[in-house]
Amino acid sequence: MKKNIVRVIAALPGVLMLANGIGFLAQPAQTAASLGMPYLEGMGRSTQVGDMASFFVAIAAMCFLGAWQRQPIWLYSAAMLLGGAALFRTLATLLHDAPFATVFIAVEVVLTLVLLGCARSFAAARG
């Protein structure tokens, strides 16, 4: 029973990430705005939509694969991307005078910790 609870918890960040990934494909202007970004023009739009959709869908896929297969490596990979986003947002503040994105960083840190906890649980269950 506990294994299934951990699997559900591991998949939840994937649901959130998939929603953003699909949002960048279906409603990119609204999704960009929800993340504090202007919707870009020209080649920047291609990069914004393509890279952001890929980032979110890849994290979702890693969360779902990790949960489904109970493979910690997938969850560690998703955590690395989310934790990296929090780190580099913080560096953007320190190095480039960007506003500190408290809410986004907090979500990324919490989801990173959830994924790391689930990965450790899967690893411990394997022995």
**pLDDT of 127 strictly over 80:** no
Secondary structure (H, E, C), 63-102: HHHHHHHCCHHHHHHHHHHHHHHHHHHHHHHHHHCCCCCH
Rounded CA-CA distance 62/56 in Å is: 10
Q: Please report which helix (H) or strand (E) contains residue 110, including its range.
A: helix 102-126
**pLDDT of 12 strictly over 90:** yes
> Whats the size of the chain, residue-wise?
127
- Residue 47: predicted pLDDT: 98
Q: How many domains, in total, are found in the chain?
A: 1
Residues 26-73: tens digit of each pLDDT: 999 999 999 999 999 999 999 999 999 999 999 999 999 999 999 999
pLDDT band, residue 126 (cuts 50/70/90): confident
pTM reported for the whole predicted model: 0.94
pLDDT band, residue 3 (cuts 50/70/90): confident
* Enclosing domain of residue 18: 2-126
